[in-house]
Structure 1
Amino acid sequence: MAIEGMNHFTVLTSDLEKCKAFYIGVLGLTEGYRPPFLFPGAWLYSGDQAILHIIAGRSLPAESQGIIDHMAFTASNLQLVVDKLNFYNIAFKLHRLIEQQTWQLFCHDPDGAKVELDFAASEPEPKLDIAREGFNK
Structure 2
Amino acid sequence: MYLDHANIVTPDLDATVRFFTEVIGLRAGHRPNFRVPGVWLYRDERPLIHLSQATGGSPATWLSSRIDHIALRVADLTEWTALLDRVNASGLDHQIHTPDDGSDFQLWVPLAAGVTVEVIVAP
TM-score, normalised to structure 2, is 0.46
> Which structure features the higher share of strand residues?
2
Q: Considering fraction of residues, name the structure with more helix.
A: 2
